[in-house]
Homo-oligomer: A and B are copies of this chain.
Amino acid sequence: MYSVIVRGHMMIAHSLRGEVFGPAQALHGATYLVDVEFRRPDLDADGIVVDIGRATEALGAVVGELNFRNLDDVPAFKGRNTTTEVLARAVFDRVVAAIRRGDLGPGAKAIESVCVTLHESHVAWASFEGPVGPVASAAQ
Q: Are B70 and A6 in contact (CB under 8 A)?
A: no
Residues of B near A125 (CB, < 8 A) are 4-5
Chain A residues in the interface with B (C-beta under 8 A): 1-9, 11-14, 16, 18, 20-24, 26-33, 43, 46-49, 51-53, 56, 67-70, 80-86, 88-89, 105, 120-130
CA distance A16 to B48 in the complex (A): 11
Supplied contacts A28-B29, A28-B68, A33-B122, 5 more A-B pairs, CB within 8 Å? A12-B29, A31-B31, A31-B32, A43-B85, A47-B83
CA distance A136 to B128 in the complex (A): 24
Residues of B near A67 (CB, < 8 A) are 23, 28
